[in-house]
Amino acid sequence: MFKDLLKEMEKLKKTSFSVPIEIDEKGYLDRQCPSEECLFQFKVNQDDWSEICKDEAIWCPLCRHEAPSDHWYTLEHIEHGKSEAMAVLEGRIHNAMKSGAQKFNRSQSKNSFISMSLEVKGGKKRTHVIPARAAEEMQLDIQCEACMTRFAVIGSAYFCPACGHNSVLQTYSDSLRKIRAKKNNVETVREALTSSVGKDDAELTCRSLIETCISDGVVAFQKYCEGLYAPFGPAPRNAFQRLKHGSDLWFKAVQKKYDDWLSPDELLGLAVLFQKRHILAHNEGIVDADYLKKSGDTVYREGQRIVVSERDINDLLSALDKLGNGLKAACQSIED
């Protein structure tokens, strides 16, 4: 009576399951960084995954962790795969026992003194796998400028999954988007914190959020310039933290200066913001003689603490946008 079951068990020993993974409506495949510190989820265009990505190495768009291509299933895929394998296994064993029991019952002679019958409860169970469903589409589509792989993320990404390339242009535009998002959401954060932890903490947090926008912007611009400037040779350390120094370097490299893209007022305003960043980082925001001399800011006297307003962040973003676009175009025209 266990013949069917034993036969099925023998077959199962040699079976391997594959659980298909569906792609989303845009044709993207879900992936997840296998590094436990990171677990960043992203998507890769399915054609690019099979045609451009290599088996030996895939890179995480967020942390640049590197691993062979079969390490990038999402945790959800893995869980789904396990439960599907169990369901199919259970189904096949159940069905084998059921058909064994039916055969046993048929073999019982009607005239015998004792009659036995076996029953395996429940109907036939499924033995096919259900594919893993695709996660919701992601909004930010990126195409690698080096290998043309298309991928999608939530928030931001620094590296191409297919070639590990770090795009300075992409990183810079992501950084500016992050600053814009912080500035735009400060009131939502304030409201949420006021009702949950009180006015004082809400005010401290929001002020700090706005102030960090300035250093985010200065650092993003510095990194962007360093990346773009690389083909022209090494720049002195932190040169692009100083507007005049940076502008002179660019003039030597591409014959353009910051005042080609910014009005005198915009440039002066940006100089004040760069000095505000410096004093926030090194003097807790307290105005000193050095700040007054370098920034030309007439609003404050020595010993006051600077205030960073939403307008400051708008001015910063607008100036960094203009400089970023100008530099990009100038470097491209040199390449051509």
**Applying CB under 5 A, which residues contact Zn ion?**
33, 35, 38, 40, 60, 62-63, 65, 144, 146-147, 149, 160, 162-163, 165
**Cα angle value 133/139/144 (rounded, 5°):** 100
Which one, 48 or 84, has the nearer CB to Zn ion?
48
Rounded to a whole number of angstroms, the minimum distance from the CB of residue 247 to Zn ion is 32
> What tokens appear for 181 in the block?
């998002």
Which one, 144 or 225, has the nearer CB to Zn ion?
144
Which one, 65 or 80, has the nearer CB to Zn ion?
65
169: left (phi over 0), alpha (psi -120 to 50) or beta: alpha
Which one, 40 or 158, has the nearer CB to Zn ion?
40
DSSP 97-165: HHHHHHHHHHHS-TT-SS-------SS----SPPPBPPPPP-SEEEE-TTT--EEEESS---B-TTT-P
First vs last C-alpha separation in the chain? 80
Rounded to a whole number of angstroms, the minimum distance from the CB of residue 71 to Zn ion is 11
Rounded to a whole number of angstroms, the minimum distance from the CB of residue 145 to Zn ion is 8
Task: Tell me the three state secondary structure of residue 32.
Answer: strand
Burial call 99-125: b when 16+ CB within 10 Å, e when fewer: bbbeebeeeeeeeeeeeeeeeeeeeee
Which one, 149 or 275, has the nearer CB to Zn ion?
149
Rounded to a whole number of angstroms, the minimum distance from the CB of residue 226 to Zn ion is 21
Rounded to a whole number of angstroms, the minimum distance from the CB of residue 333 to Zn ion is 24
Is residue 149 within 8 A of residue 161, CB to CB? The reply is yes
The amino acid at 159: F
CB neighbour class for 172 (10 Å; exposed up to 12, middle 13-18, buried from 19): buried
Rounded to a whole number of angstroms, the minimum distance from the CB of residue 227 to Zn ion is 16
Which one, 68 or 131, has the nearer CB to Zn ion?
68
The amino acid at 125: K
Which one, 165 or 178, has the nearer CB to Zn ion?
165
Rounded to a whole number of angstroms, the minimum distance from the CB of residue 129 to Zn ion is 29
